[in-house]
Chain A
Amino acid sequence: MARHRVVLAVFSVVALAAVACRGGDGAAPQEGKGGIKVDFGVTGEPCPNTGHSDRGCIYLGSISDLTEGPFKTLAVPITDAQKAFWKRVNDQGGIAGYDVDVTTHVKDNKYNPQIHNQVYQEIKGKVLALAQTLGSPTTAAILPDLENTQMVSVPASWTSLWGVEEVVLESGANYCIESMNSVDYAVEKLGAKSVMAVHLPGDYGDDAAAGAKLAAEKRGVPFTNAVTQTGQDNQGGAIDAVLANKPDVVILTTGPTDAAVIIGQTAARGFTGKFIGTSPTWNPGLMASPAAPAIKALYLQSAPWKAWATDTPGHNAMREALPGVTPNDGYTAGWVWSYPLKAALTKAAENKDLTRAGLLGAVRQLNSVDYEGMLPSGAGNFSGNANDSTFRQTLIYKPDETAPTAVSLVEDFFTGPTAKDFKFEKPCYT
């Protein structure tokens, strides 16, 4: 008898779990405010904190690195900028009778794929889309689920993998394209005759190194490669590799202090080549570091969009929405990344379909996104295949302690010959 009871209990738990899962994944679409079809994360009730009692609410989730992970200094401003972005959207009238809430479902991933997946599971039934999913390996952990549930997601990373993922709404050039452009710039403008990639392992560094290699091959200049690890005292191998190969230009994809150690120590030991780092390589605080003289002499920074202090309608709106903050291009990134999702939500509302499937359908209809001048017109094409829709322009900045984020523009948006001809069909690093 007791055995039967156990079997029954186990069966009940399994059945309950199955029902619970179904409840999370299969809500039937209903008619919401204004005759718009809704399913997940869209309610007729007003959002808790926006103060517009006559509107419904679209809940978006954010999964970011907010406490102890390595990208906290980027993640916090990204998240704050996105809160400010959507507050502005709400203050300007919301989206078709709905406000957008990005404050209720904010989760910390500690930059750990497992935790990322865990907190994603907690919020996925309560949100329409993800306003932010930070990191490449972390997002990769939930990618199959994002695809299955048609959860449109805004990444906070620039890996070329997002170019082929339909549910991911990327903005700006990916690391691969950016590094191609950096190499082309170095060959054309700096007269570089040899290229080296110094990078972290994984799809951040590997992606950039793959782009640099493709560009070096295309330009017929010798290419060398050195993988390094995070940590200031772990840069000895990279430093020795740079000094041994003496390349004319080094494409750097590391963290800021790693970069400062590499640049400072190689310069101290007589290296005179140039460094071009991707955006996560830079931090304004480096201008006060012991490596600052070397950084000023040798370092340039590639960027996917213009820096914090630029005068465009988008940049101006961002600065106005974030009064009193320390200028940081994490804010710029969070703000820029939000435009495609806003465009997709608006489109979906026009189509009277704010369900997950409806939102993804709206994404497929986006030929271009209005970034209010933060990216050139034509950016944000999600309607074509990966090759057509990949954005290929990059900017080059140089260190400048007088600028708010300590960089000033050297080369405006450009597409190098390598990136222009490159046929993008799969992530560069695979």
Chain B
Amino acid sequence: MSEFLQSLIRGLGSGSIYALLALGFVIIYKSTRVISFAQPAFMLAGAVLVSYLAAEVGFFVAVPVAAVLIAALALGVERTVLRPMIGKPVFVVAIITIGVDVVVRVVTNAFIGLDVRQVGDPWGLSTVSLLGVDVQQRYLVMLGTTVVVVAVLFAFFRFSRIGLAMRAVAYDQEVALAQGISVGSVFALSWAIAGGLAALAGVFVATGAGVDQQLWVIALKALPAIILGGLDSLGGAVVGGLAVGVVESLVGTYQGDVAPWLGPNFALVAPYVLMLIVLLVRPYGLFGSKEVERL
């Protein structure tokens, strides 16, 4: 039982990282209908920024400051690089985001230098006893922070005027425009929010061993999460992210005993298997909205 709980909490911890990343993808997708492949770069940039800021102002100040700065960076990228592409096919825009990703990563890499950098978090690998089970504090922090961030985000979309505007744009851009909503601002804001979330996720990843140039690969885990949850569902992104984390962790813990014939590292494939199963049953993901196409 304790093994199960430990595995579950590890999974929820890494799942919350995937959830934060997936939320970024979904927020951008909802407003612009584009999957932004620049998220990995913002994640890396956030972690690197914190590794510099934490030494000056401490970890707890560094994280929100970095999230805001990366949000501003993402906003700037949207405003300068992507805004001129409005009206162009989404495929083209998605390819441009790959270019943005490479540029931001190459610049960020220059700041990593030769050594692995540390974000200076206070938890390290220390554990705490929860229901008689030793679990690492950082996983609980990740989970807790994600819950708070998600709650704030949902409240923002539900109750604020800008949140309402964003929902309107997601629903129908032209109608929103006709109602006096600045669609451009909504695009910029969604990039900013996604950038901030990616930065936070990057910091969480780096709490284990530090920041190196390969940190960005983890952002790709968000892809099965968003497909699983439904590309245009915020709730789906959170559930998808957590599901990917938990499935990965539990399969890693038990597959060796239960189904060794699946070979090592099946845990890495498990989220994709889950995604395929979900897609077979619900082609638009767990919470995705069905698209009606009239011919």
CB distance from B118 to the nearest CB of A (A): 5
Decide: A76 and B114 in contact? CB cutoff 8 A.
yes
CB distance from B37 to the nearest CB of A (A): 14
Please give the number of chain A residues whose Cβ is less than 8 angstroms from any Cβ of chain B in the complex: 45
* Chain A residues near B218 (CB-CB < 8 A): 231-233
B106 on the interface (CB 8 Å rule)? yes
Decide: A260 and B209 in contact? CB cutoff 8 A.
yes
**Highest count of chain B CB atoms <10 Å: which of A77, A240, A258, A269:** A240
Q: How far is the CA of A244 from the CA of B256 in the complex (A)?
A: 9
With A73-B114, A227-B264, A290-B125 as given contacts, are A232 and B102 in contact (CB-CB < 8 Å)? no
Q: Mark B197-221, 1 if CB is under 8 A from A, else 0.
A: 0000000010111101111011001
A328 CB contact (under 8 Å) in B112, B114, B267: B114
Decide: A233 and B117 in contact? CB cutoff 8 A.
no
* Chain A residues near B266 (CB-CB < 8 A): 237
* Chain A residues near B124 (CB-CB < 8 A): 290
* Chain A residues near B109 (CB-CB < 8 A): 67-68, 72
Q: How far is the CA of A265 from the CA of B209 in the complex (A)?
A: 10
With A231-B214, A232-B215, A241-B256 as given contacts, are A286 and B116 in contact (CB-CB < 8 Å)? yes
* Chain A residues near B185 (CB-CB < 8 A): none
The number of inter-chain residue pairs (CB within 8 angstroms) is 128
Q: How far is the CA of A265 from the CA of B221 in the complex (A)?
A: 20
A2 on the interface (CB 8 Å rule)? no
Decide: B210 and A68 in contact? CB cutoff 8 A.
no
**Highest count of chain B CB atoms <10 Å: which of A70, A76, A233, A268:** A233
B217 CB contact (under 8 Å) in A231, A236, A264, A294: A231
Decide: A227 and B113 in contact? CB cutoff 8 A.
no
Q: Taking CB as reference atom, which chain B residue is nearest A67?
A: B106
Which residues of A pack against B, CB within 8 Å? 67-68, 70, 72-73, 76-77, 226-234, 236-237, 239-241, 244, 255-258, 260-261, 264-265, 267-269, 283-286, 288-291, 294, 326, 328, 330
Q: How far is the CA of A283 from the CA of B113 in the complex (A)?
A: 12
A261 CB contact (under 8 Å) in B105, B117, B121, B209: B209
B163 on the interface (CB 8 Å rule)? no
* Chain B residues near A269 (CB-CB < 8 A): 6
Decide: B209 and A291 in contact? CB cutoff 8 A.
yes
B136 on the interface (CB 8 Å rule)? yes
With A237-B264, A268-B125, A294-B125 as given contacts, are A285 and B116 in contact (CB-CB < 8 Å)? yes
* Chain B residues near A330 (CB-CB < 8 A): 114
Q: How far is the CA of A284 from the CA of B118 in the complex (A)?
A: 12
B267 CB contact (under 8 Å) in A77, A231, A237, A283: A237
* Chain A residues near B221 (CB-CB < 8 A): 233
Decide: A237 and B208 in contact? CB cutoff 8 A.
no
Decide: B115 and A283 in contact? CB cutoff 8 A.
yes
* Chain B residues near A288 (CB-CB < 8 A): 116, 118, 210
With A227-B264, A241-B264 as given contacts, are A264 and B208 in contact (CB-CB < 8 Å)? yes
**Highest count of chain A CB atoms <10 Å: which of B118, B209, B253, B256:** B209
CB distance from B223 to the nearest CB of A (A): 14
**Highest count of chain A CB atoms <10 Å: which of B113, B117, B212, B268:** B212
Decide: A257 and B113 in contact? CB cutoff 8 A.
no
